[in-house]
Structure 1
Amino acid sequence: MRPPRGRRSLPGPVLSALAALLVLPFPATAAPVAGPDGPAVSAEVARLLTEAERVTEEYERGRRAAAVQRARAHRLQEELADRRRELTDLHGRAGEVARAQYRTGGTLPPTARLLLADDPEAALRAERAARQAGQAVDRLVRGTDRAARLLEEAAARARTAWRDLEARHARLAVVKRGLETRLERLRRRLQATADRSVAAGRCRGAARLEQPSGARGAGRTWVAPVSEADGYELSAGFGSAGKHWARRHTGQDFAVDIGTPVRSIGAGRVHAVSCGGAFGIEVVVRHANGWYSQYAHLASVAVEQGQGVAAGQWVGQAGTTGNSTGPHLHFEVRVTPYLGSGVDPLRWLREHGVVLGGGRA
């Protein structure tokens, strides 16, 4: 049978294995359960993540600006020292001119020196040259002195700006630490709530997360399941072996903090939202041409079964529910909604224009 357009054909043995897997039931989607520690904590974590990102960016901008002003103040101070050395040298040259004039004529007025000179014309030339040299030195002294004053004022302004920026940077550091402490506390609450949901096998209601502008795919067809701006590390890969899996790892893991927004890789419709089992809290989305994407070990969900989603739309928040040893997103691309039908998700994303870590995520 010819495979549908847009889907890669699979070898015969793989299709046989998939046919056997199709009889396995998909984990039942439990009725959502509301609770004070569910959607409210999810929304607060999302809000604090956005606020922490804003403060961190401001903190980093302030740090860079302070470094620039500090370097500028040091540079101006060095230039000021050079100008002062020049000024000292020019004062010395002015003294030499004065001494030369004294040696050639002492305190006699120019007319008397000309009258007493053996060669009046030569004396006149020497007088003119001495006068011009003195005037030139005076101009240089005045100009260098003015430049030194301007440099001193600029250096003082740079030092003031540097100190102001450092003070602001210190204040932002306090705010940043406070946000991180609150965020860590809320992350623990969010995970505890998720663990209770998984233990009960009942999902809480979808959290209505306010997504910041630019969170979606901005017109792109496919995106990574975690934004590069949120930070992630690729951990266990597709097909890798490990004691935590019965055979081989069936997806790609993204090591992220609890509460990190998880995005739908493309437009589609939520096929299932479930809680319990090895994957903990998970969302499965059906995309065009029959592809499915799975997002597992979540701490919360932000969508409901049957809901349409856009590329880049948040479908949940990362966690460590189910068979998980630490916070991460388990991500799969499948040809059916069921476990065992996955393909290599990194290769699939590359083939669809998403290069992880290369600015396209």
Structure 2
Amino acid sequence: MPSPRRALPLVPVLLCTLAALAVPRAAAEEGRGLAGPPDDGGLSTRVARLHREAARATDRYEADARRLVQERARAGKLDRLLARKRQEAQVIREDVGRYARAQYRAGGGLPVTAQILLSGDARSLMAGQRALWNADLALQNVIDRSRRAERRLAEERRKAEERRRRLEKHSAELDGTRQRIRSTLEEAQALLQSRADASVAAGSCRGPVRLEQPGPPTPGTWVAPVEEYALSAGFGQGGVRWASRHTGQDFAVPIGTPVRAVGEGRVVRVSCGGPFGIEVVLEHPGGFFTQYAHLAAVTVDQGQRVAAGQWIAQSGTSGNSTGPHLHFEVRVTPRSGSALDPVPWLASHGVPLG
């Protein structure tokens, strides 16, 4: 027979179990939403690293492409110079032919001794012959210089062609590397976004991921929320995508792009679910708040202090989003409905957007 001390009443057990299950949802509703296990940062770190590798590969490929354009232009210039030099050489050869024929008709075809014996004025003949020799020597020098210039240009053209072929081969290899990195990055981005979508669907955020920060911040500075971007939907813009007007500034960036705190402050909200998907809200000195929405992952927790330029999240397309971008708002309260136009606000803090 079971001991009364080991028996647990069924109703209290069920109540405790239900209470435990309710804790994550309550936390999500309060903004933390840490029901899921903390992400170990492996995937987010990989996406961030692949972003850097893709950028470096693209820079190298574009630098090679510029050098290739320069090398092709140099080869074209050498081709034109070589064609001109060969044309000049052809003119010289034609002139030499005409000169030789004229000499032959004037008696140049006879040996010098025969010309002396047949001439009535040997001195004049010798002076004329010296003039002819000097002319022949000068003509031969012109021919030699033309041939040397042609050979030099031909050699330069050959070397230019070798450089062009090497550059084309290297450029093709870089392009292949770039495409492989992009393919791997796209797979990692899709996995990162799928995790974000699962968090939004569950209404509970995974824990903050760990990313290697870009470097020590400069106190008192302000920065744009992403380093490289294209501005898309602006503040106050109308359209079928919004219930009334757009309440922030969108930055078109790929999934997994590091998102920066625009200034120093404190994390007052990290939430998953709703139209903004995964979002972070910061409070800054002076009573202003900034929101970062449609994220794929966050790197901070509620209550945490952050510095200007610190990576607080990775961009995505969670929530009501039509494509990868960062939705950025400036507010006078942490809640929706108090937004200001972020473009002039950032400009007033020394961060013009363009």
Q: Normalised by the size of structure 2, how large is the TM-score?
A: 0.82
Provide, for residues 268-321 of structure 1, a one-character-per-residue CA deviation record: whole Å limited to 9, x for no partner.
333322222221111122223222211101001122233333332222111111
Aligned to 1:227: 227
Aligned counterpart, 2:332 = 335
Amino acid across the alignment from 1:98 = A
Using a 3 Å threshold, how does the CA distance of structure 1 residues 51 and 70 change in structure 2: closer, same or farther?
Answer: same
The code of the aligned residue for 2:64 comes to G
| Residue 198 (structure 2) aligned to one of 196, 199, 213 | 196
Listed as ranges, the matches of 1:45-194 within 5 Å are 45-108=47-110, 113=115, 123=125, 126-194=128-196
Q: Is the 8 A contact 1:280 1:321 kept in 2?
A: yes
Q: Which runs of 5+ in 1 are unaligned?
A: 1-25
Aligned-partner Cα distance in 1 for 2:37–2:75: 58
| Post-superposition CA distance 1:228-278 (Å, at most 9, x none) | 3xx42x222212223443332211112222112222222333332222222
Q: 2:45 aligned to 43, 66, 78, which one?
A: 43
- CA distance change for structure 1 residues 286 and 124 in 2, over 3 Å: closer, same or farther? farther
Whole-Å separation in 2 of the counterparts to 1:127 and 1:267: 96
More deviation, 75-84/49-58: 75-84
Structure-2 change in CA distance of 1:103 and 1:32 (3 Å): farther
Q: Which residue is 1:34 aligned to? A: 37
> 1:264 aligns to what?
261
The residue type paired with residue 34 of structure 2 is: A
Counterpart residue identity of residue 251, structure 1: G
The separation in 2 between residues aligned to 1:192 and 1:241, in whole angstroms, is 29
Q: d(CA) in 1 for partners of 2:219 and 2:163?
A: 42
Q: Residue 240 of structure 1 corresponds to which residue in structure 2?
A: 237
2:20 aligns with none
Inter-CA distance 235–99: structure 2 relative to 1 (3 Å threshold): same
Structure 1 residues 50 and 103, CA gap change in structure 2 (3 angstroms): same
CA distance in 2, matches of 1:293, 1:141: 79
1:114 is displaced (CA, Å) by 6.3
Q: Which stretch has the larger CA shift, 204-213 or 332-341?
A: 204-213
Change (3 A) 1:121 1:41: same
Structure index of larger Rg:
2
| Secondary structure of the corresponding residue to residue 95 of structure 1 | helix
Q: Deviations over 1:304-350 (max 9, x none)?
A: 23333333222211111122222211101122222122110112122
CA shift, 1:118, in A, is 6.4
Q: Residue 117 of structure 1: CA displacement? A: 5.3
In the comparison of the two structures, how many residue pairs are matched?
326
| Structure 1 partner of 2:10 | none
- Match of 2:81, SS state, is helix
Q: 1:112 to 1:219 in 2, by over 3 A?
A: farther
RMSD value, Cα:
2.7
| Distance in 2 between residues matched to 1:176 and 1:49, nearest whole Å | 11
Q: If the length of structure 1 is used for normalisation, what is the TM-score?
A: 0.81
- How many angstroms does 1:175 deviate by? 1.7
Which residue of 2 is the match for residue 209 of structure 1? 211
Percent sequence identity is 51
8 A Cα contact 1:39 1:205, kept in partner? no
Q: Deviations over 1:107-164 (max 9, x none)?
A: 4455765676567676555444433322222112111111111111111111111111
Paired residues of 1:299 and 1:320 also in contact (CA < 8 A): yes
Residue pairs, 1:284-323, within 5 angstroms: 284-323=281-320
> Which string of whole-angstrom CA distances, capped at 9 and with x for unpartnered residues, describes residues 155-201 of structure 1?
11111111111112222222222211111111111111001112222
Are 2:38 and 2:209, in contact at CA under 8 Å, matched by a contact in 1?
A: no
SS state of the match for residue 292, structure 1? Answer: strand
- State the 1:212 CA deviation: 5.1
Aligned equivalents of 1:161, 1:170: Cα separation in 2: 14
Map residues 243-254 of structure 1 onto 2, 5 A cutoff. Answer: 243-254=240-251
Contact 1:97 1:134 in 2 (8 A): no
SS at 1:289 equivalent: coil
SS at structure 1 position matched to 2:286: helix
Query: Secondary structure of 1:331's match?
Result: strand
